[in-house]
């Protein structure tokens, strides 16, 4: 079985399935508008030079999210 890791620790360039989002409901809703929801497949495309934020391909576009937010999500490397 694949292991689940924090999104903030996920490798770049691999397909990731979102398993768990531990954030308040309203934040979850906002993320869903960007295409980030449990069950969706996303990808980490880049990391900013200071290690934070992290750029993610989700819902057909790329958005950067802060590391503190990514730490609250679990993904499975596909």
Name the segment binding other proteins (CB under 8 A); options: 1-9, 14-22, 41-49: 41-49
Using the rule CB under 8 A, give the single segment among 3-11, 14-22, 64-72 that binds other proteins.
64-72
Residue pair 76/20 in contact by the 8 Å Cβ criterion? no
Distance CA 72, CA 13 (A): 20
Looking at the DSSP bridge assignments, the partners of residue 41 are: 17
Contact status, residue 41 vs residue 35, Cβ threshold 8 Å: no
Among 27, 38, 77, 78, binds other proteins (CB under 8 A): 27
Report the nearest approach of other proteins to the CB of residue 75 (Å): 17
Query: Which lies closer to other proteins via its Cβ, residue 2 or residue 23?
Result: 23
* Rounded-to-integer distance, Cα 2 and Cα 76, Å: 7
Residues that bind other proteins (CB under 8 A): 24, 26-27, 29-31, 33-35, 45-53, 55, 57, 59-66, 69
């Amino acid at each position: 079985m694949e292991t689940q890791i924090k999104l903030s620790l996920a490798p770049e360039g691999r397909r990731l399935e979102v398993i768990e989002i531990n954030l308040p409901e309203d934040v979850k809703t906002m993320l869903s508008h960007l295409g980030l929801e449990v069950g969706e497949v996303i990808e980490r495309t880049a990391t900013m030079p200071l290690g934070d934020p992290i750029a993610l391909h989700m819902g057909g576009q790329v958005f950067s999210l802060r590391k503190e937010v990514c730490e609250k999500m679990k993904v499975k490397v596909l």
